[in-house]
Amino acid sequence: MNIFISGLSFKATDEDLKQVFSAYGEVSSAKIITERGTRRSKGYGFVEMPNDAEGNKAIAALNGSEQLGRTVNVSVARDRVERDRSY
């Protein structure tokens, strides 16, 4: 299950994200999205959990919770939509 997290602290790291979600089950990856040039966090990220039941439990527990001083929104990630670059 791919999980989307927004509202993250700009000081949060991939490891922080992994640690928070590990309390609910196995985490296969955790990635905070950063700006290309500055490498500064964009304030959102993704966590991959192989077990859907554990993923749903994490979403229910963490959505609206405070993590590193900020209230986060947690939901199932939507499929990525390819952008048309034919202009």
Is the confidence at residue 87, as pLDDT, over 60?
Answer: no
Q: What is the pTM of this model?
A: 0.88
**Taking the chain, what is the end-to-end CA distance rounded to the nearest angstrom?**
34
| Angle between helical axes of 14-22 and 52-62 (0-180°, round to 10) | 100
| Domains recognised in the chain with CATH numbers | 16-76 (3.30.70.330)
pLDDT at 86: 62
pLDDT tens, position by position, 27-84: 999 999 999 999 999 999 999 999 999 999 999 999 999 988 899 999 999 887 666 6
| Gap between the Cα atoms of 48 and 42, Å rounded | 18
